[in-house]
Amino acid sequence: MKTLISNFRKSRDLFLALVAMMIMMPSALLDASASNKDQQKSDTLQFVLLRGTVEDEDTGTPLPFATVAIEESNIATVSNSNGDFILKVPRNMTDKNIRFSFIGYEKKFVPVNAFSNKRYKVTLKMITVPLVEVSVFPSDPNLLIKAVMSRRDDNYLNHPAKMTAFYRETIKKGWRYVSLSEAVVEIYKPAYNDPREDKISLQIGRKSTDYEKLDTLAFRLQGGPYTATMLDIMKDPYLLFDGEMINYYNFRISNITRIEDRTIYVLSFEQKPHLKIPLFYGKLYIDTENLAVTQAVFNMNTDNKNEVARMFIKKKPLGAKVYPTEASYIVNYRQDKNGKWYFGYSRGQASFKVNWKRKLFNTNYHTTLEIAVTDWSPTEDKPFRGADRLKINAILEDEVSGFSDPDFWGDYNVIEPEQPIESAIKKIQRKLDRIQ
């Protein structure tokens, strides 16, 4: 058991080392107004821009991270935490429908020509699961999770894929954004039964960091897009349920729901009480027909503050105690036309409390990273060469610059910024206009 836990710690720490916040005294302030026009992709105007909000039909409650996809294609995005979305539809696809889906709701198709210049409200109807289905539960949830893992190779992509994805990371001090980095990346994802890791190449990116508001600390998120792709727990299962680590969790089937036309088991899990190392707790959403995980929502147990701080914090200044107060994650999968599942979206959030020795009040920092696959295709190409790919421990804000062009993304699809981020971007652009 000691050897197994030791191996798990090494695997878990590899992931968390990439999530780690590097806390240090900045040697110099970065120039947030630097422009990188050579990297900018011009707006080709070969698309139609759709904007809208996904809501519950009965309550009007926004539905965060809903899948928004062009039917009969691999082009997709997700709604943000407020349910808002933007989608760029190539002009040769404007005769298609846009498919909206969310766990527990009926899917909906909306023709592209139904959108106007104004924001379109898409309402989804909650699914009522028949009682006969609610009463059909597997007798042993532990056997269910083992069956899920044993069928991974059958359920997920069995060939390499090249994916285009949008990535965003933010840092807030209190409730104010102090750092924002965004990028479009290409991901080389080996088949799910291939042990090789994903490779990532940076296509275009931008950043802004206001170190004057960081209280002499520089929180820097190491790993960037690699951290987000490592949340693909079916490609890298060591994070949660690798091998015998399944035995260190308690499982129970807590509900049954639906997504589109499929019935879904909701499998809850938490670490066994006698274990002292920080593990995870949350829910897996499992297709009842093929036993594929369609979504995972989970948190790290942060009760052991010292151990969790050791895992997350790479460097900190003298006179400060820093420890995480929350770490939560979500990963969504999509299904292709052949019935194979693949990584579609992930999001990680962590909150930290900084307690200074000679200061009366604590400082709270909140970090978020998310990535959405916006297009993909099978590939026979080799992985990106070393010179063409990001290093696995890269810090994105060191790799990109520039925030001056409102049409920066061209025809790339991105995640709709939440309102505070949108306001921050507009403020940055007004500041740059004055400078220029």
Distance of CA 57 to the CA centre of its chain: 26
Query: What pLDDT score does 318 carry?
Result: 67
**Tens digit of each residue's pLDDT (9 = 90 or more) over 17-47:** 444 444 444 333 333 333 333 333 333 468 8
How high is the mean pLDDT of the chain? 80
From the CB of residue 179, how many other CB atoms can be counted at a distance below 10 Å?
A: 26
% pLDDT > 70, the chain: 75
Mean pLDDT of 278-300: 93
The whole-angstrom separation of Cα 372 and Cα 332 is 9
**Tens digit of each residue's pLDDT (9 = 90 or more) over 63-112:** 999 999 999 999 999 999 999 999 999 999 999 999 999 999 999 999 99
CB 388 within 8 A of CB 220: no
> Among 69-73, 197-201, 322-326, 358-362, which is the least confidently predicted range?
358-362
CB 95 within 8 A of CB 71: no
211 pLDDT exceeds 60?
Answer: no
The structural domains of the chain, ordered by start, are 2-36+131-435 (no CATH), 47-124 (2.60.40.1120)
216 pLDDT exceeds 90?
Answer: no
Please state the pTM of the whole predicted model: 0.84
> Among 105-114, 178-187, 348-357, which is the least confidently predicted range?
348-357
**Tens digit of each residue's pLDDT (9 = 90 or more) over 311-327:** 776 666 666 777 788 88
* Residue with more model confidence, 382 or 297: 297
pLDDT band at 239 (very low <50, low <70, confident <90, very high): confident
Which residue from 275, 342, 329, 333 is spatially nearest to 300, judged by alpha carbons? 329
Instruction: Enter the tokens of residue 126.
Output: 């909650």
Helix H or strand E encompassing 321: strand 320-335
At which residue do the structure tokens 């895992």 appear? 311
Could you tell me which residues are beta bridge partners of residue 187? 163, 200
CB 101 within 8 A of CB 67: yes
* Residue with more model confidence, 99 or 170: 99
Query: What pLDDT score does 133 carry?
Result: 54
Query: What pLDDT score does 82 carry?
Result: 92
* Residue with more model confidence, 165 or 356: 165
Helix H or strand E encompassing 7: helix 2-19
* Residue with more model confidence, 366 or 377: 377
179 pLDDT exceeds 60?
Answer: yes
Burial class (CB in 10 A: 0-12, 13-18, 19+), 6: exposed
272 pLDDT exceeds 60?
Answer: yes
* Residue with more model confidence, 413 or 223: 413
Mean pLDDT of 106-122: 89
Mean pLDDT of 407-429: 77
Q: What is the dihedral of CA 415, 418, 424, 426, to 10 degrees?
A: 70
> Among 39-43, 138-142, 240-244, 305-309, which is the least confidently predicted range?
39-43
Which residue from 266, 412, 347, 417 is spatially nearest to 19, judged by alpha carbons? 347
Write out the E strands in 336-384: 341-356, 363-378
Q: CA distances (Å), 392 to each of 9, 217, 229, 349, 386, in order?
A: 19, 24, 11, 19, 11
Helix H or strand E encompassing 69: strand 67-70
Q: How many helices (H) and strands (E) does the chain have?
A: 8, 20
Which residue from 97, 84, 91 is spatially nearest to 46, judged by alpha carbons? 91
The whole-angstrom separation of Cα 107 and Cα 262 is 11
Query: What pLDDT score does 25 carry?
Result: 40
Query: What pLDDT score does 200 carry?
Result: 93
* Residue with more model confidence, 80 or 309: 80
CB 158 within 8 A of CB 356: no
Query: What pLDDT score does 28 carry?
Result: 34
Instruction: Enter the tokens of residue 174.
Output: 């209190």
Could you tell me which residues are beta bridge partners of residue 206? 182
Compute and round to an integer the Cα radius of gyration of the chain.
22
pLDDT band at 1 (very low <50, low <70, confident <90, very high): very low
Largest CA distance in the chain: 67
CB 62 within 8 A of CB 83: yes
Instruction: Enter the tokens of residue 62.
Output: 């926004």
